[in-house]
Amino acid sequence: MTATNGGPLQEILERAHRVPDLDHFPGVDEITERLDDLAGRYPGLVTSRRIGTSRLGDPITMYSIGAGPDEALVYAGVHPNEPIGFWTAIRLAEDLCADEDLRGGCRWNIIGCIDPDGTRLNEGWFDGPFNRVNCLEHFYRPAPAEQVEWSFPFQYKNAYFDQVMPEAFALMRVIDELKPVVAVSLHNTEVGGVYYYVTRELGGFVDELHAITASFGLPLDLGEPESPVARPLGPAVYEMISAKATYDYTESLGLTPYTSSGGSSSEYAERHGTVSLVAELPYWTHPANDDQTPSEVPYREVLARMADALGKDLDAMIEIFDAARPYLSDDSQLVRATDAFLPYLAKRPERDRLRAEKEDPARVATVAEAFGLTDVHRSFRLRFGGMLLRSLEGEIARGSAAAVLHPLCRRMREHYREWQEEAAALDQELRTVPIKDLVGVQYAATLALLNAVRREAG
């Protein structure tokens, strides 16, 4: 059933459009306070239990609402730099408590924040101002092996990963216990349009995701996919990316696959027949995001140009970090993440140049593809340059930094301010999406997934 005939999707959209105006993103303490308050106000309906502990000592709590028999699992903060899902989890929990019809036949299990430690390192921009320069100056993304989303056990060819972090282990136990019918890993992107991942095709679901996006007036992201291994199920809807597919693709290019992280939560949940969804929402959109008109530049040229520009900036960051590394503290999450990401990212320019060589010379990039590829370069240097700068400044702020760190920090700060100035100029072209609309799309997609799985089961 679709939105056009007044079926369940229309009811879902009506609920989603009732998300109120929101003027900030909640941090760890506010998430806990709001969900604990619900558990206190609805003691016969909401069950809360501690499912684990973060590496730095924060409790991780799951809130269960409803009686089943179906089990649904929703979890936010798997990438702690992606806070839209915090509001989605809170809003869903609030509505489930207030509306018996919404709960019907399903127990919803909601984890408001699965990575408190990482989230606290991103909270510097959660109250605004909401522009990309401020956001990425306070950006933190854990090293791949320390990301909850990508630290599940994985064994394939020469890859073997079993260093499951406590937060991911807590989520593993919950998945094995619940064997959920559906699971929603709450993510978001940065600049662009809306796109989705789902573990398998469901009849009519792609059209429903498109209808949800259109209902909120947001563009689909029709440019360069996040990963070249993403198999499209429809415009801006992809089959879930897997560690196995990424390994095979990298190997096919003659490169050595990255083997220092694990599988995803959705890969792990598939053993129980769980259908998983990721809805990627942008804070900002640009007119080029869904522009399918041809640009004047061959796709391979745009790709190679981006690879060269990114490679140049990565070389500058790596030179500074290599000189600073002996004097940086290993107990810093920022240092560990920078140490992991820079060599990992350093392989991307070579991979993209190889991709460019294999592309048809006659293929012209669309406006969306050209913008998306160029913006990858802008985003990566702001994200990971910001993390490097915070690593250096944090060591200096401790009051015991080696003298060599001070000139390195000044050099990095000069690079970063130049990149910020370029980004600020582009920010004038971006539209900031209201937070309530971003939450509304995730909320609607989550409910629509359960509806689609039930519809297919008959």
pLDDT tens digits for range 292-313: 999 999 999 999 999 999 999 9
Residue 3 is predicted with a pLDDT of 37
Mean pLDDT, rounded, for 194-209: 97
Separation CA 308–CA 194 (nearest Å): 27
pLDDT at 367: 95
Provide the b/e sequence for 9-28 (b: ≥16 CB within 10 Å).
bebbbebbeebeebeebbbb
CB proximity list for 64: less than 8 A, separation 6 or greater: 46, 47, 48, 49, 107, 108, 109, 110
Query: Where exactly does CATH 3.40.630.10 map onto the chain?
Result: 8-286+433-457
Token representation of residue 106: 């399903």
Residue 424 has pLDDT above 50, yes or no: yes
Q: Which helix (H) or strand (E) holds 297?
A: strand 294-298
For 11-20, 55-64, 425-434, which range has the lowest pLDDT when averaged over its residues? 425-434
**What is the C-alpha to C-alpha distance for residues 195 and 281, in angstroms, rounded to an integer?**
7
How many residues are listed for the chain in this entry? 458
Q: By the 8 A CB rule, do 419 and 382 touch?
A: yes
Q: What is the pLDDT of residue 5?
A: 37
Asked whether residue 4 carries a pLDDT value surpassing 70, the answer given is: no
Cβ burial, residue 60 (10 Å; 0-12/13-18/19+): buried
Tokens of 169: 């282990």
Q: Rounded distance, CA 188 to CA 241, Å?
A: 15
Range 134-139 average pLDDT: 96
pLDDT the model gives residue 2: 39
CATH of 8-286+433-457, one of 3.40.50.300, 3.40.630.10, 3.60.20.10, 3.40.640.10: 3.40.630.10
How is residue 219 annotated by DSSP? P
Q: What is the mean pLDDT of the chain?
A: 95
How confident is residue 224, by pLDDT bands cut at 50, 70 and 90?
A: confident
pTM of the model: 0.94
The whole-number pLDDT of residue 210 equals 98
Whether a cis peptide bond, with omega within 30° of 0, leads into 129 is yes
- Alpha helices by DSSP H, listed for 359-434, are 367-397, 405-427
